[in-house]
Amino acid sequence: MIGRLTGVLLEKNPPQILVEAGGLGYEVEVPMSTFYNLPATGERVTLYTHLLVREDAHLLYGVGTQPERRAFRQLLKITGVGAPTALAELSGLSDAELA
């Protein structure tokens, strides 16, 4: 599992960003709350991540704090809530408001 990612922010295309770490470019989906708090491109960024492995894809999701990641993971446990819905919830509510 990729639990945390630190590297240089290369691209910002909401809700996806591209982070270079260790010579690799990681595409990461982030909620808008995290997106608005990102540094400028070319700057270093650290994200707490959740890797979702599906039959047809490996998808990496990132947030700015550990409590946000815990909230994201709790949302995924709810029947009928997938990663896109969890990101949308975190885009509109803080992890404290969600709790």
Model confidence over 90-99: pLDDT tens digits? 998 877 887 7
Q: Kindly give the interhelix angle for 66-76 and 83-92, rounded to the nearest 10 degrees.
A: 130
pTM over 0.85: yes
Residue 25 region by backbone torsions, left for phi larger than 0, else alpha for psi between -120 and 50, else beta: beta
Q: Which residues pair with 28 in a beta bridge?
A: 17
- Tell me the pLDDT tens digit for each residue of 34-84: 999 999 999 999 999 999 999 999 999 999 999 999 999 999 999 999 999
Taking the C-alpha atoms of residue 74 and residue 54, their distance in angstroms, rounded to an integer, is 18
Helix or strand or coil: residue 85? Answer: helix
At which residue do the structure tokens 């240089």 appear?
8
pLDDT surpasses 90 at 29: yes
| Cα 4 from chain centre | 10
